[in-house]
Structure 1
């Protein structure tokens, strides 16, 4: 049976006294097919317009329009405008508009659905769309094709704009836009866009405040994207996903002027961003196969940029975690590698810290961890496997800096390398581990522990199976270790003030131990050949020692 219900028609009425003119609501319904149901409820008597056009069978359309008292003086300005166009069978569209156009701006809602096929929504419809608007100047548009799609848009405030376009099967999209943080009516100007192509995708947007922008664009299947709790003003979030089984979440972006962007291509990507503060920027670009990135920024003016994988060489399984609590900190992570993990934590209350981690093509199982306590810290780690058999594994770099102005630089180009730096104060540590003559080497280890100010340590390892350990406690201490070849061991322990140690080792299996205390000591150890042992102990002030060994199997001991 065909149902046709028109509750109001276009007409012009005069008020009892004739002083005010009032435009009565207008509704137009056109239906074709069998068992279509259209309901329009227009209350308030002030400039409402509704148009419903249904073609097919068993479609349902419902429009409720209510406008506030301010609309009665606007005469020919519509308070609410709704247009529903459904083609196909068994579709449902619902619009609820509560307009209050004090400034002459109308709420506008457009729903267009074209559904075919047997797919059904949870409500049992081939397609389902709902728009709810409260306030003025809101624009909500839902366009859906194919079947089994569900779209819901809720707008409250003024001048909010939303667009949902789903052109696949069994997709779900929901968005909620609220004016003024806390749900108030005032100037809002929020903008949300959800575009979904493919099947079985899920998108959610929830933003509260003014001037916020959210964009979700998904193309593929079984992807999930959520922008939740974007609270404040002038925040911007973008999620772009293509492929399948990707999951992206922007959660608790609280404050003003925050910017978050997630771009995932491929399969099984997972990215989460949470920003609390003002003017924070997070950018994640993943070419997936298991890439995971988690960013949590608290404070103001922080920047985190994560770029994982380019698809070359089939190197999946990269993960990156960044947490910044404080202001004006920067973290960059770039990984193109198998099983690489980078963790950066730049601690509560710190400011102006910078961490840069690059784990490049072939750095199998490379792990880099940076923790900075204090301000103005700088840490740079580059781990790069360049050649060698494909099953080479290793590379671990850990940097912990506590205090202000600490700087650490680690470069590792050979598999199996390990570097650890711990600094407390205004110190500088540099570690270079490189295979000799471009050959990928194994087993280099370097450890640096510094406490004090204006203290520096330089370790260069070019070869394999070399070890270097530096322990510095004091001010203006300097240690330099240069190892070329294999099997070398160097240990430097410095306390006091203004002590200097230099160790140069070449060829193979040489050992040097230097201990300096008090002030103003200088030690130079040079070893070439193999099997040498040099020991220097300086426990009084202002001593100078030079040890040079060549050949093989020499032993030297200096005590000052």
Structure 2
């Protein structure tokens, strides 16, 4: 990257140049008064022009065509009425350099205009515009350069009545553009536009204002281009970067309110970084390879907060191509949305919505190979009015998805869908509810749907009160583990588990540790199913129920329900249809009911009940029957039927 040029005040006009003894052109103009006009036209080698104007109604025009050109213009207006000073510089050929300073200290309204056009060879342009009077002023700077140029624009205003500053830089070739716009006072606005064509460009825009809007637009075409935008201390900041080519980098930093950041990158190995601090009503949009899907290796990083938090945040990331990576951090924000879409190979998306926030929504969609998505929400959601929701959709092979929702979560939803052509799937959801004793119901919901392929695994863990977990697996080698713990005193309220496994070699493990009522419904259809679960083993557990249906070969079911002395009203219903079925059940507490139906060869059932008013019913209707029932307590009832199928 070429060295960045920085102007140093009005010393820009000091043009002490040693030119060759032959063909030397020199022009010096010094004017004071009103309605001043200066025009210089130089052709040839070794040119040098210096214009100094102090007054009102100022204009300067310099045209240099030929070799060692150098132009310096200083315009100063300190009168009561600002009469629009303007300067135009046109340089064509060889080692051009233009230094232009415009200063206004009067109280009259007006417009400062600077226009520099440089073509060919080593172009360098520096523009300084300052307005420090009390009136409304507009500052305009327009620079057009070609062939590896450097442009520096500094615009500064302190007007109390409002100013608007505009800078436009257009460059072709190995170029560098630096724009700095500093404003104070009310009703200010700044606009900076940079257009660079070719390779190895650098653009930096710094905008600092105390009020109103800032707009920065950068367009770069070619390879190895870099863009930096810094917008600080103003409302209504808008930054837009468009890069076409390879190895492009974009960095945007924004502060304060009503912010919009947009990055469009097409090509290979592009990276985007956007940071918004203290954002209120902020929007981020990143598009990588949306029009050129052949690109790859692009990365996107977005951070909102945490310095001053943020409210009403919207982040949208779209990545097309291979090897995409996206990272979004939102900290101490509320009403925040994240949407990440990755279409292509080897995608990775990480979304962190962290402490202090609520009403946060995160969605990741991955259509392609080797996907990895992780979402973490740690805000203190306040219930139905301000929940945190997260959703991951993966369509492709080798997928991994993980969602964490914690921080006294209430009313939060987490959904993972691994479908269509999904193959090596693995999904995990952790939801941590309100841990305070007697805390409000959490009403957490978790769903994992793996309907797309083989080797699926699912893990759901929920704590808190009144939670629901559901898992659907359609494919081969499925595994499901669901744990609901209640709060720190094992108070769980209504906890519900649904598991539906359709396919080969399924395994389901569930554990509900809360006080109940706990409800579990498991259906396994396919080969080699195994189900193992427990309810209410850590304290009072009332109103527990388990319904298990296994249809397919080699099913095994093991269930443990209730604490030895404190559980109550436990219900178990097991239906096994298929070959080699085995069911082992243990119940503790009172008012128990067990119903086991086995419609297959090789069935075996073992039931142990301890407590009061127990009831066990076993029906085994095919070969190799075996049934063992042990009951302890009073009011027990046992019915075992073997070998006679029911009448249809």
Superposition TM-score, scaled by structure 2 size: 0.47
Answer yes or no: is 1:194 the counterpart of 2:230: yes
Gaps of 5+ in 2: 1-9, 15-26, 29-37, 46-62, 79-88, 107-114, 134-141, 161-166, 186-191, 281-287, 290-294, 311-317, 382-386, 619-626, 629-648
1:31 maps to: 76
**Counterpart in the other structure of 1:500:** 556
Residue deviations 1:110-149 (CA, integer Å, cap 9, x gap): 43122589xxxxxxxxxxx9x99893576654322139xx
Residues in 2 aligned to 1:111 and 1:233: alpha-carbon distance in whole angstroms: 33
**Which residue in the other structure is 1:220 paired with?**
256
**Deviation of the 1:377 alpha carbon:** 0.8
Contact 2:545–2:570 (Cα < 8 Å) also in 1: yes
> Aligned in 2, Cα 1:237/1:210: closer, same or farther, shift over 3 Å?
same
In structure 2, relative to structure 1, the CA distance for the partners of 1:458 and 1:548 (3 Å cut) is same
How big is the shift at 1:53? 0.9
Give runs of aligned pairs for residues 142-541 of structure 1, distance below 5 A: 142-146=180-184, 158=198, 163-168=205-210, 192-197=228-233, 210=246, 212=248, 214=250, 216=252, 218-220=254-256, 233=268, 235=270, 237=272, 239=274, 241-243=276-278, 256=296, 258=298, 260=300, 262=302, 264=304, 267=308, 279=322, 280=324, 282=326, 284=328, 286=330, 288=332, 301=345, 302=347, 304=349, 306=351, 308=353, 327-331=369-373, 333=375, 335=377, 337-338=379-380, 351-355=397-401, 357=403, 359=405, 362-363=408-409, 376-379=424-427, 381=429, 383=431, 385=433, 389-390=438-439, 405-408=455-458, 410=460, 412=462, 414-415=464-465, 426-429=477-480, 431=482, 433=484, 441=492, 454-457=505-508, 459=510, 461=512, 463-464=515-516, 476-479=528-531, 481=533, 483=535, 485-486=541-542, 498-501=554-557, 503=559, 508=568, 520-523=580-583, 525=585, 530=590
Aligned mates of 2:278, 2:195 — CA distance in 1: 30
336 and 453 in structure 1: CA distance in 2 versus 1, 3 angstrom threshold: same
Residues 390 and 505 of structure 1, relative CA distance in 2, 3 Å threshold = closer
Shift of 1:68: 5.2
Distance in 1 separating the partners of 2:462 and 2:297: 38
Q: Deviations over 1:143-194 (max 9, x none)?
A: 22139xxxx999997385654322149xxxx9999986668xxxxxx65543
State the SS of the aligned residue for 1:11.
strand
Cα gap change, 1:315/1:68 in structure 2, threshold over 3 Å: closer, same or farther? closer
TM-superposed deviation, 1:413? 6.6
Q: Structure 2 vs 1, CA of residues 256 and 176 (structure 1 numbering), >3 Å: closer, same or farther?
A: farther
Structure 1: state its 5+ residue gaps: 16-20, 34-40, 58-62, 72-78, 90-94, 118-128, 184-189, 246-252, 270-274, 345-349
Could you say which residue in structure 1 is the equivalent of 2:641? none
Paired residues of 2:93 and 2:120 also in contact (CA < 8 A): no
Q: Distance in 1 between matches of 2:388 and 2:586?
A: 38
Match of 1:52 in 2: 101
The secondary structure found in structure 1 opposite 2:409 is coil
C-alpha distance in 2 between matches for 1:460 and 1:408: 14
**Rounded Cα–Cα distance in structure 1 between residues aligned with 2:207 and 2:586:** 72
Deviations 1:373-412 (A, max 9, x none): x9531425373759984489999x9x9x9x9631315373
The offset of 1:308, in angstroms, is 3.1
Q: Kindly state the Cα deviation for residue 501 of structure 1 after the two structures are TM-superposed.
A: 1.6
How many residues in Structure 1 have an aligned counterpart in Structure 2?
A: 511
Q: Report which of the two structures shows the higher radius of gyration computed on alpha carbons.
A: 2
Paired with 1:215 and 1:182, the residues of 2 have a C-alpha distance of 14
Residue in 2 that maps onto 1:248: none
| Equivalent residue in structure 2 for 1:544, among 596, 604, 615 | 604
Distance 1:375-1:343 versus aligned 2 partners, 3 A rule? farther
Contact 1:84 1:112 in 2 (8 A): yes
Q: Secondary structure at the match of 1:459?
A: strand
**Structure 2 Cα separation of the partners of residues 107 and 214 of structure 1:** 19
Alpha-carbon shift at residue 11 of structure 1 (Å)? 1.9
Secondary structure in structure 2 of the residue aligned to 1:464: coil
Task: Render the CA deviation track for 1:319-351: whole Å, top value 9, x for unaligned.
Answer: x9x9x9x9441526363743999999xxxxx95
Looking at structure 1, the residues matched to 439 and 607 of structure 2 have their Cα atoms a distance apart, in angstroms, of 42
2:60 alignment partner in structure 1 = none
Deviations 1:166-224 (A, max 9, x none): 2149xxxx9999986668xxxxxx6554322259x9x9x9x996484736352339xxx
- How far apart in 1 are the matches of 2:430 and 2:568? 26
Query: Given the alignment, which residue of 73, 80, 86 partners 2:130?
Result: 86
Once the 2 structures are TM-superposed, how far is the Cα of residue 86 of structure 1 from its aligned partner? Answer: 1.9
Structure 1 Cα separation of the partners of residues 483 and 519 of structure 2: 12
Q: Secondary structure at the match of 1:476?
A: coil
Contact 1:85–1:111 (CA<8 Å) still a contact in 2? yes
- State yes or no: 1:100 paired with 2:147: yes
Aligned alpha-carbon RMSD (Å): 8.3
Q: Provide the rounded CA distance (Å) in 2 between the counterparts of 1:197 and 1:231.
A: 31
